[in-house]
Structure 1
Amino acid sequence: MSQTATPEHLTMSQIRPRYEGSNICTWIGFKHVNYMVEEAVLDHLRQRGFPAGALYERYGLCTDITDLDTKILTAFHIDDLATATVREVAHDGPELRLSVEFTVDRGKPVKAVKSKVSVSLRLDPHGFDAEDAPAELLPHVVASISAEDKAVVPIPVGDADPLDLLTAGRNAFGWAWRMPYFYCHFTERVQMSGYLRQMEEILDLFVEDRGVSIKTLLDEQNWIPVVPHSRITFLAEAKMEETLYTVFTVENVFKRYTFTARMDCYVLRDGVLVPTATGRITHGWAVIENRKDWSLVNFDDRLTDALTGKAGVISGRGTV
């Protein structure tokens, strides 16, 4: 893939959301919207002659989405057929940079999603025979995934509990969980979809810890959470069966309408917490109006106090 985007480096495909992502009524959650972005990227590579399977099997190259920044402009429903347009974006650096846009038919084509994606081709470490990578791919080949352009500061733990250390004095919630094989790919490493699951799960645990769980607000007020924006960036590699320490920190509540939170993920190696991913998510709440429609609502005092830590909980923790 060239670092200079040309008309030949634009692809289009049609993608439907998966049924698993239709959790409340027929709307599709942010995680599965990002899965659709991932599918569009993989199909772009196929159309360019570089399917992920062949890249691995022939050349020992692991296709890794390492940065995913997605804005949801219009909600998807389960039976929607969305049109994805993927373009390669010129930039400096080893990653392949792509822009992804989805449109959906609402009587006329409506822009539904805008996403910026980075892809690295990570050399497989397992030593099996492989062909040399095509010359066009060489600028995007890396020996390991790291964020050399970002300040990644390991944290010594000493005798402290890692979750206590990461959440102390912050409006935050921490969670420790062993990474299972089904959050990983290419035999050993946590993949982007694994971190999307972490981001979804820790929000769920956070609001439950604050007394405003998803089901509580559904049962009592008919409110559902909505996500207009999410981003996850890889900083280093996390391995299968390592314990991932994930911290969810509320950063800002905007006019009782949305709040933004940061997700930071670490693994503990040789007494040091190593950052492996960071991300941000913007959340709002909406009231279900009927089986098809919802509309955003202002946060009430209970939800606002829970999000800001005024409900009596400044930091929490969980383990699974």
Structure 2
Amino acid sequence: MTIVTDTAVKELLTTVSTTQVRPRYEGSNICTWIGFKHVNYLVEEAVLDHFRQAGLPARALYEEYGLGLDLVTIDTRILHAFHMDDVAEAEVVPWTKDEDGTIGFKVTIRFERNGEVHKAVTSKVRVSLRIDTYLEAAGDVPEQLARFAVAKLGDDLERQDPAAAPAEEGILAALTEGRNAYAWKWNIPYPYCHFTERIQMSGYLRLMEEGKDRFVADRGISIKTLLDDRKWIPVVPRSDIRILDEALMEEDLYIVYSVEDVFKDFTYTSRMDFYVLRDGALVKTATGSIVHGYAVIENRRDWSLVNFDQRVVDAINGEVRES
């Protein structure tokens, strides 16, 4: 049995760890470049390994103490593109300086290319230890971890009263009214969940990627359309997501992708908000943002950033021009 000791918790909260990470083959969708979702998976793996190295692996925390390790915040900047088969070193620095009930980390991922070491990714992550209530109680939470244990994700935040919802068939229209936005309703399947009942961070990252895909397709500039027309691919220099509440397996999730601003025809920032309908009210379960640009494929190894043309700007802004 894993024993939670003062030494293990001190190491978790004060010791810097390093681990080797490699992107998964699945994340290479266009040529050999790795998308933002899988870059965030590398960040997640580094944090999980930090817990392992401290002697507090996620499996033992759950099986022995009924504590589910949940990433509740991930805020990532991508400074250099990852490629298939890249091997990188991830450094995890504890960052728990306040008493907000979460465990914080700063993650930096570096790789070597052509004899030069590049800082490829920086990320800020926060973790909650969620007390399992699906199965019988596991006993008292170890004293050393009690300040990070929550009965429900989002308990470290000041909750706002949920907004009264319109009739169910009018929810999507209400969420997008007067906004440059696209929304859809989606039933949460079990592959997006963990600890038996709730959607996990990687599930939200997958939905953020899907939101981009759905939005541009709705605006007539789908991923494949711009690939075929001009060999343009979307790139993401930054993304962030924060879990505010819990969304449960087989609940309907209402997802809103809205454009907030376009910066110098070079990048645009979109917000994503996630809601569930409970007791006649819309409860926001997560919120985040994603910055997008475009790059042109130059060859099988290289790409370069491009400015938006008028067609893309109009599509992003939801404007239709007469030909």
* TM-score calculated relative to the size of structure 1: 0.93
Structure 2 contact 17–91 (Cα < 8 Å) conserved:
yes
- Aligned in 2, Cα 1:307/1:116: closer, same or farther, shift over 3 Å? same
Match of 1:21 in 2: 27
- What is the Cα deviation at residue 150 of structure 1? 5.0
Structure 1 residue 311: deviation in Å? 2.6
- Aligned-residue Cα RMSD (Å) equals 1.6
The aligned counterpart of 1:317 is none
Greater mean deviation of Cα atoms: 67-76 or 125-134: 125-134
Read off the aligned partner of 1:85 and give its amino acid letter.
E
Structure 1 gaps of 5+ residues are: 313-320
Identity of aligned residues (%): 57
The residue that corresponds to 1:119 in the other structure is 127
Total equivalences in the alignment: 310
Do the aligned residues in 1 keep the contact of 2:90 with 2:110 (CA within 8 Å)?
A: yes
Match of 1:98 among 87, 105, 112: 105
Deviation at 1:93, TM superposition (A): 1.2
The alpha carbon displacement at 1:108 in A equals 1.8
Unaligned residue ranges in structure 2 (runs of 5+): 1-8
- Per-residue deviation at 1:144? 0.6
Question: 2:103·2:127 contact (CA, 8 Å) conserved in 1?
Answer: yes
Does residue 10 (structure 1) correspond to residue 16 (structure 2)? The answer is: yes
Distance 2:24 2:12 in 1: 33
C-alpha offsets along residues 75-116 of structure 1, whole Å, 9 cap, x if unaligned? 000110010000111222110000000001112211000000
1:138 aligns with 2:146: yes
Partner Cα separation in structure 2 for residue 102 and residue 158 of structure 1: 45
Q: 1:46 to 1:40 in 2, by over 3 A?
A: same
Distance 2:287 2:247 in 1: 12
Q: Which sits farther off after the overlay, 153-162 or 106-115?
A: 153-162
- State the SS of the aligned residue for 2:29: strand
* Higher mean displacement: 140-149 or 176-185: 140-149
Task: Give 1:4 shift.
Answer: 9.8
Residue 26 of structure 2 aligns to a residue whose secondary structure is helix
Q: Residue 65 of structure 1 aligns with which residue?
A: 71
CA contact (8 A) 1:152 1:235 kept: no
Q: 1:41 aligns with which of 31, 40, 47?
A: 47
The secondary structure found in structure 2 opposite 1:146 is coil
Question: 1:152 touches 1:275 (CA, 8 Å); kept in 2?
Answer: no
> Which of structures 1 and 2 has the larger relative contact order (alpha carbons within 8 angstroms, sep 6+)?
1
Matches within 5 A, 1:1-320: 1-2=9-10, 6=14, 9-89=15-95, 90-106=97-113, 107-146=115-154, 149-150=157-158, 152-159=160-167, 161-311=170-320
SS at match of 1:280: strand
Which consecutive segments of 4 or more residues in structure 1 shift more than 6 A?
Answer: none
Q: What is the CA–CA distance in structure 2 between the aligned matches of 1:242 and 1:141, rounded to whole Å? A: 25
- Structure 1 residue 5, shift from structure 2 partner: 5.2
Question: What one-letter code is carried by the residue in structure 1 that aligns with 2:59?
Answer: G
Give the match's secondary structure for 2:153.
coil
Q: Is the 8 A contact 1:175 1:202 kept in 2?
A: no
* Amino acid corresponding to residue 55 of structure 2 in structure 1: G
Summarize the Cα distance change of 1:204–1:150 in structure 2 as closer, same or farther, 3 Å threshold: farther
